[in-house]
Amino acid sequence: MKDIPVFTISLDFELYWGIFDKVPLESRYTYFDNTRQVIPQILSLFKQNNVHASWATVGMLMAADWDDWRSFTPAALPDYTNKKLSAYRLDKDFAMENGQVSRYFFAPDLVKAIRDTPCQEVGTHTFSHYYCREEGQTVAQFKSDLQAAKRIAERDNISLQSLVFPRNQYNEPYLSVCFEEGVKTVRANPVDWWWKQGVKDNLLRKVFRAGDCYTPLSQKTSFKLSSLVLQDGMPLSIPASRLLRPVHSGNFLNQLRLKRVLNEMTVAAKTNSCYHLWWHPHNFGDNPERSMADLKTIVAHFKILEKQYKMESMHMTDIYTYTKEQAAS
């Protein structure tokens, strides 16, 4: 396979479905209002610069309202031992406030905007922000969830071909189900020990994950496309390189964080490797203007690398297509 320099972006598009078990909604109204406003800005920036991106979207976001949401309920719901993890409990808490807070749960307008923007793909973050490594849930329940995600996406002429596991709970036994349901590629976790698969987290892992964004602690973050393995009956696993962390309150740390990303992009370009940057759109919610300024810097740097080293922008399904074509040649 011919290795080429590639810049890929994946975004975990969730709104409140991604943090409902951790943070009360009333503390995040402005946060998610900013998120909704910044997504069209991101799409405009990507369109202007021909930047490809995968938007791993929670299927529930595609519903118009709570009644529409109920009509796509999977045949089998996740039976988590920890009942607080189930998104289906939010119906009784928020459905009566449909007109006031539904914008934090449903965003069919934004999903369609992503679909209609050149070089963007709508992927899946499962239907219900499904946790594949939590106790109680089963492979069969996960399959039912993916089928619900497919149904609601197909209504808007969207084919879900890429997947990101919520909370990065990458689970190999679930990959064959992804493939059966039409998913061609999934995002895998970085190889460093602090990203090791599992449910429970601890302070040390959090410290290393945060620290690595400012100073080199990890192994090489980019990878060769030739290192990716196509297996029969399995989606292609594409490793993540770097989480673009939210803007920090300290300017010095922000500069370190941004410089780390730019330097890693340059290394990938010079070595004919792939650099896979990811984040949540709501990570821009607290500081949308500074976050967009940083993203513009990243995109501008990509354009320099595109000119100097012929770096290409690819979303996750683009990488799958390239890998498959190279394997067949």
Between CA 14 and CA 125 the distance in angstroms is 8
Amino acid at position 47, single letter? K
Predicted local distance difference test score (pLDDT) of residue 1: 80
pLDDT, tens digit (0-9, with 9 covering 90-100), for 253-274: 788 889 999 999 999 999 999 9
How far apart, in whole angstroms, are the C-alpha atoms of residue 230 and residue 56? 21
Burial class (CB in 10 A: 0-12, 13-18, 19+), 286: middle
The third-level CATH classification (topology) of the domain covering 6-328 is: TIM Barrel (3.20.20)
User: And the tokens for 321?
Assistant: 């297509």
For the entire predicted model, the pTM comes to 0.92
Tell me which DSSP letter residue 96 carries. Answer: G
Residue 207: pLDDT over 50: no
Q: What is the pLDDT of residues 218-247, one digit of tens each?
A: 567 899 999 999 999 999 999 999 999 999
- Range of lowest pLDDT (6-20, 86-100, 125-139, 312-326): 86-100
Do 221 and 275 touch, CB atoms closer than 8 A? Answer: yes
Please tell me the distance from the alpha carbon of residue 107 to that of residue 122, in angstroms, as a whole number: 13
- What are the structure tokens assigned to 141, written together? 């329940």
| Residue 213 pLDDT greater than 80, yes or no | no
pLDDT at 38 over 60: yes
Half-sphere exposure of 263 (CA within 13 A, CB side): 11
DSSP-derived letter for residue 160 is -
Give the model's confidence band at 98: pLDDT under 50 very low, under 70 low, under 90 confident, else very high: low
DSSP string over 179-243: HHTT--EEEEPPSSGGG-S-S---HHHHHHHHHTTTS--SS---B-GGG----TTSPEEEE--EE
Question: Does residue 215 register a pLDDT over 90?
Answer: no
Contact of 238 with 188, CB cutoff 8 Å:
yes
Residue 278 CA: distances (Å) to CA of 9, 10, 161, 190, 319: 6, 5, 17, 11, 15
**CB of 292 closer than 8 Å to CB of 41:** yes
CA distance 122 to 315: 10
Residue 43 has pLDDT above 80, yes or no: yes
- How much is the average pLDDT of 179-187? 98
pLDDT at 249: 67
Partners of 277 in beta bridges: 9, 242
Residue-wise over 45-74: b if at least 16 C-beta within 10 A, else e?
bbeeeebbbbbbbbbbbbbeebeebeebeb
Rounded average pLDDT over 27-33: 96
* Cα angle for residues 135, 138, 142 (degrees, 5° grid): 115
Q: At 183, which amino acid appears?
A: V
Cα(119)–Cα(43) distance, rounded to whole angstroms? 10
The rounded distance, in Å, linking the Cα atoms of 192 and 209 is 9
Helix ranges, the chain (H):
29-49, 66-71, 90-94, 98-101, 108-116, 139-154, 175-180, 203-211, 251-270, 288-309, 316-328
Residue 95 banded pLDDT, cuts 50, 70, 90: confident
Question: What does the pLDDT read at residue 205?
Answer: 46
Percent of the chain at pLDDT above 90? 81
pLDDT band at 120 (very low <50, low <70, confident <90, very high): very high
pLDDT value of residue 192:
52
